[in-house]
Structure 1
Amino acid sequence: MKDEAVARAMRSAGGGEGYSVKKSGDATVVLVGFPSTGKSTLLNKLTGTKSEVAAYAFTTLTVVPGAMEHKGAKIQILDIPGLIAGAAMGKGRGKEVIGVVRGADMIVILVDVFNSSHVDVLMKELYDAGIRINTAKPDITIKKTSHGGIRVSSVGTLDLDTDEIRSIFAENKMMNADILIRGNATQEEVIDAMLGNRIYVPAIIAVNKIDLIEESQRMDIVRDLKSRFSMDPAMISAHTGYHVEQMKDRIYDTLGFMRVYLKPQSEAADLEEPLIIRTGSTIEDVCRKLHRDFVDRFRYARVWGHSVKHPGQRVGLPHHLKEGDLITIIIEH
């Protein structure tokens, strides 16, 4: 039942009034927290945007975007209305808020020092909305077939047995499919792969207002969150600006950016202005970033750097790039 409710909430999470935000920059980060944890103040400190700040709940009624420039990357930061318990089921403006979160490249889970236990509730809301935090997408391929029942093949050690997998699919009225599982997988991961609407996003926890408590209390919060979530929380004060610069580094590092350089054909390379792309990006990603026509008009690219065996190697669209690569893209004119 709950999965159905969540699916309903996600289907209608297409962005209600004031919630459809055009993504811009190199990546989008969303600040997720309960009302009045200091999201608007943090957005203002990170980006210089003026989001309405007041000392009472529910001041952010629409999504407020801000742009943060850091180490050459342009990062869009979204301050969204505070999440409340039950958001995944559509409580409050939960559906719309969750819809924005699902479109982000990274999540900052923001709590304040007096409510660090809220992390549990926020994690649960995100989980119930089909958002998987700091988890690799399981390598499971499911091909629906017209007959033959559920056929399971696996590469590597799999702790689940075939009957368990068959019963999961039977419960969801799927009787015929070829399933390939690479590596190990839990029941939850098989269900996630079968439902196919899960989002896998990196996240960090930030604890705000640390200027209001003693050092010993800060250490207790760090120990508690680290032991329960295996994450080092960013301890900040958005109001005083304490550790906000370190937080910018944290966001940049978590997003996994790398720099590549463009060399126009028969011209010198532009080493002043790197192109900021995400780790694991391909030549195709670079083409899309440069101009929407480049993929269609693409002939080939030449690359100098760590991703190729020899300098100036000719590569195609699927070629994966590495930090510091130099690229020349040849297109049809």
Structure 2
Amino acid sequence: MPANLTPEYLAAEEAYRNAKTVEEKIAALEEMLATIPKHKGTDKMQADIKRRLSKLRKAGDNKKGGSRQYDPYLVEKQGAGQVVLVGFPNSGKSSLVKSLTNAKVKVAPYPFTTPLPQPGMMPYEDILIQLIDTPPITEEGIPGPFTTTIRNGDLLLLLTDLSTDECIDQLQMILKFLKEKRILRKELIEGVSAFTIDECIVIGSKADDEKSQERLEIIKELIPDSPDILPISTETGLNLDKLKELIFKKLKIIRIYSKVPGKNPDMDRPFILKEGSTVLDFARQIHKDFAENLKNARVWGSARFDGQAVPQDYQLKDRDIVELNT
């Protein structure tokens, strides 16, 4: 039986052949496994991909001295979402993280002051969002197994420095790098960690520079398919609040508050769910027993009237208050 391999599979296979690190090989093999046609003609190929994946994963664990050993490039997700910053040396990543979070990052006027990913928590209204300061991209690529850190994020912030004429080249090289690593793509494939440009925010940092607006216009003129760029300044505070709102919006999450029957709702600790989540999804997040024994629910907020009884498949909205009855 012919394999009838798809263009997506062939592209992933090419990425595997060109991969330089274990992490890149694993990502390419995972994409090959996700895109290969599933029929008897590809059974042996699927088994071979799984064998190679297993071998690479074990090799990675052995190289680290076991899977439990600390991995400085793997940042545990915390808060309502994880946002990874990507940019060239001295593009303002560390200054931005320092301005928005509690992280004790080092800010200096020379490159490579951030050798490893540095997390910080950004307050936004009543939740915290995790920002990851990162080692810089250069023309030679990126240090260590850092593509894994990028792939694991929920949202990417791409920085180009508006205080230098190199801002055009910076943005072009960032986009090229992410596309070559198959991290940025036009369409997502189920089971493959990647982003579309809509899941990124492009920032023009150091917008307090007197020529920043001129450079911003040049970028739009010279890069026809350039994404929207938000100019910001950590010196003047320009658009920092707007950036927070945009991050929340791009994460596509909602805050849901729980209410015990007969008591006031708990407005201090919202549950975080993805947009489109239902009452049943909310019940599962609290505890599986709630979902299994759920009889009905009442909603304040998006319902037609406060306290309206709704079905289990009712789609919740941001800031809804939900009372579950089991």
TM over 0.5: yes
Residues 262 and 130 of structure 1, relative CA distance in 2, 3 Å threshold: same
Matches within 5 A, 1:1-333: 2-4=14-16, 5-6=18-19, 7-8=24-25, 10=27, 17-85=71-139, 87=141, 92-93=143-144, 96-113=145-162, 114=164, 115-117=166-168, 118-132=170-184, 137=188, 196-200=191-195, 202-214=199-211, 216-221=213-218, 223-224=220-221, 227-229=224-226, 231-270=227-266, 274-283=270-279, 285-287=281-283, 289-290=285-286, 294-298=287-291, 299-300=293-294, 301-304=296-299, 312-313=308-309, 315-316=311-312, 319-330=314-325
- Aligned residue for 2:130, secondary structure, equals strand
Please give the alpha-carbon distance, in whole angstroms, between the structure 2 residues aligned to 1:119 and 1:251.
Answer: 19
Superimposed CA distance per residue, residues 264-317 of structure 1 (whole angstroms, 9 cap, x where no aligned partner): 123233456654443222345534654xxx02453215032576688543543x
Aligned residues: 264
Please give the alpha-carbon distance, in whole angstroms, between the structure 2 residues aligned to 1:42 and 1:314.
Answer: 43
Please give the alpha-carbon distance, in whole angstroms, between the structure 1 residues aligned to 2:260 and 2:228.
Answer: 42
Q: Is the 8 A contact 2:135 2:143 kept in 1?
A: no
Shifted more, 201-210 versus 266-275: the winner is 266-275
Q: CA deviation at 1:43?
A: 0.3
Residues 59 and 216 of structure 1, relative CA distance in 2, 3 Å threshold: closer
Shifted more, 306-315 versus 54-63: the winner is 306-315
Superimposed CA distance per residue, residues 69-111 of structure 1 (whole angstroms, 9 cap, x where no aligned partner): 1122210000011123464xxx532xx2111111111110011
Please give the alpha-carbon distance, in whole angstroms, between the structure 2 residues aligned to 1:306 and 1:271.
Answer: 13
Q: Is the 8 A contact 1:222 1:232 kept in 2?
A: no
Please give the alpha-carbon distance, in whole angstroms, between the structure 2 residues aligned to 1:102 and 1:216.
Answer: 32
Q: Which has the higher contact order (CA 8 A, sep 6+)?
A: 1
Please give the alpha-carbon distance, in whole angstroms, between the structure 2 residues aligned to 1:35 and 1:214.
Answer: 20
Please give the alpha-carbon distance, in whole angstroms, between the structure 1 residues aligned to 2:89 and 2:280.
Answer: 40
Q: CA deviation at 1:2?
A: 4.0
Please give the alpha-carbon distance, in whole angstroms, between the structure 1 residues aligned to 2:74 and 2:269.
Answer: 31
Please give the alpha-carbon distance, in whole angstroms, between the structure 1 residues aligned to 2:213 and 2:259.
Answer: 53
* TM-score, with structure 2 as normaliser: 0.69
Q: Is the 8 A contact 1:210 1:218 kept in 2?
A: no
Superimposed CA distance per residue, residues 157-187 of structure 1 (whole angstroms, 9 cap, x where no aligned partner): xxxxxxxxxxxxxxxxxxxxxxxxxxxxxxx
Residues 73 and 218 of structure 1, relative CA distance in 2, 3 Å threshold: farther
* TM-score, with structure 1 as normaliser: 0.68
Q: Is the 8 A contact 1:284 1:295 kept in 2?
A: no
Please give the alpha-carbon distance, in whole angstroms, between the structure 2 residues aligned to 1:126 and 1:49.
Answer: 26
Structure 2: 5+ residue stretches without partners:
1-12, 30-55, 65-70
Residues 214 and 200 of structure 1, relative CA distance in 2, 3 Å threshold: closer
Q: Is the 8 A contact 1:72 1:276 kept in 2?
A: no
The sequence identity of aligned pairs, in percent, is: 27
Task: Kindly provide the amino acid, as one letter, of the partner of residue 150 in structure 2.
Answer: V
Please give the alpha-carbon distance, in whole angstroms, between the structure 2 residues aligned to 1:106 and 1:225.
Answer: 26
Task: Kindly provide the amino acid, as one letter, of the partner of residue 121 in structure 1.
Answer: M
Residues 313 and 61 of structure 1, relative CA distance in 2, 3 Å threshold: same
